[in-house]
Amino acid sequence: MSKHAAAIRTASIGVLCRAEPVRDEWERSSSCTAHTTDIEDRKGTEDKLRRSEQELRRMIDAIPQTIVVLVVMGTPSTPINRRSTLPVTIEP
């Protein structure tokens, strides 16, 4: 076995595959139809988004102040960074 063949055998690609049986008039499976879609671009985009979100999270967590999203009407706050330890509530 050549090095090239081994590299091809261990490589993986992102493919979405859907298949359905084709049934005859007696509802017996007579054949199958299949459709494949290359989703490598989508997987790459999702990976870039995930890395970007992780980097943004690290930057926000490094801010020394507490960051929260406040909602009026007594609803507790939503903490944004790790320094947000106490729930903050705004009373009307």
Q: Where are the domains of the chain?
A: 9-63
Cα 27 from Cα 21, distance rounded (Å) = 10
Over residues 19-47, the mean pLDDT reads 89
In terms of average pLDDT, the best of 10-24, 28-42, 48-62 is 48-62
Over residues 43-62, the mean pLDDT reads 92
Which neighbouring-strand residues pair with 24? Answer: none
Chain Cα centroid distance, residue 92: 38
Does pLDDT of 48 surpass 90? Answer: yes
What pLDDT, on the 0 to 100 scale, is given for residue 7?
46
85: nearest Cα among 63, 70, 68, 62: 68
Does pLDDT of 29 surpass 50? Answer: yes
Q: Look up residue 92 and give its DSSP letter.
A: -
pTM for this model (two decimals): 0.51
Q: Yes or no: say if 14 and 6 are a contact pair by the CB < 8 Å rule.
A: no
Q: Which two tokens stand for residue 73?
A: 């009407």
pLDDT digits (tens, 9 = 90+) for 71-81: 766 666 677 77
Phi-psi region of 81 (alpha: psi -120 to 50; beta: other; left: phi over 0): beta
14: nearest Cα among 52, 51, 43: 43
Cα 77 from Cα 68, distance rounded (Å) = 6
